[in-house]
Structure 1
Amino acid sequence: MLHLSSWMTTMPMMLIGMVGILLVIGVIVLAVMLLNRLTSRK
């Protein structure tokens, strides 16, 4: 059974957590791309 009031209070916290996870993944991907460009042997 879903309780709408508890769902509405936890939804912003879950959204902040998801955005945080996506930001960390994005920073890691950018760091790997930068390291690949700096250390590539051409």
Structure 2
Amino acid sequence: MWNNFLITLSIMGKGMVGIFTVIIIISLVVALMGRLGAGKKDDENKAEK
């Protein structure tokens, strides 16, 4: 029984690492898109003036 518990802990740990990795990647992509989008808005405002 103790062996099964250790196996489930390792599987759960791998799953949590995967979840946090995906969250970090999505956060970085959103931040990058926000920076790129902010630059385009400034360019549009300059073109209107």
Instruction: State whether TM-score is above 0.5.
Output: yes
1:1-42 Cα offsets, whole Å, 9 max, x none, are xx4322111111110000000000000000000000001123
Structure 1 stretches of 5 or more lacking a match? none
More helix by share: 2
The structure that has the greater radius of gyration is 2
Q: Which contiguous aligned blocks of 4+ residues in structure 1 show a shift greater than 2 angstroms?
A: none
Identity of aligned residues (%): 38
How many residues get paired? Answer: 40
TM-score normalised over the length of structure 1: 0.81
